[in-house]
Amino acid sequence: MKSGILFLLLLACSCTTTYFSREEPGQGIPVFPGDSSRPYLVVGHVSLHQSSFYLLGFLSLVPLDLPRLLKVDLAREVRRLGGDALLFAKVKVTPPGFPNLLEFPFIASSGKAEVSGLAVRWTGPPREKQEEKVRTTTFRRIRKPGPGPFVSKGTPARPEG
């Protein structure tokens, strides 16, 4: 009897789901968390949502497929709008929480993933970074009147050019 209960307990603890998705080459688009140095035209706002559903808190009936959402679905939506990239991207993933017994008569929980940002079309090549003029400071040592250590007094150097 004890070995049967132990077997069922080990069986319940060993249940897991693993989901693999194939990498689809050439499907992705550039995704930036902020602005880009390349000139662009905003073609629209993209917002994608995906939900998951878990029974008993761990049996994945509808898993989150985040790689597919980020690579395939996002690229398809941005290209549908006529865009080349996604700027100011925000990704929010909410893992499944404690099962909510009030919403569902059976023990279930859900999670979700949200991706949003601005779909943009490039209008030109990336801008080159402008070189900053470097100013240096030269120091000369002067002696303070009276006893004590030396003091450095700085004078800015003239910029070359």
Does 68 fall in a domain?
yes
Does 46 fall in a domain?
yes
Asked whether the whole model's pTM tops 0.75, one would answer no
Residue-range definition of the domain harbouring residue 38: 25-122
Does 132 fall in a domain?
no
Does 19 fall in a domain?
no
Centroid of chain to Cα 4? 46
Q: Contact at 8 Å (CB) between 53 and 110?
A: yes
Q: What is the pLDDT of residues 93-129, one digit of tens each?
A: 887 765 554 555 556 667 788 999 999 999 988 777 6
Domain containing residue 78: CATH number: 3.30.110.70
- Count of structural domains, the chain: 1
Does 57 fall in a domain?
yes
Does 62 fall in a domain?
yes
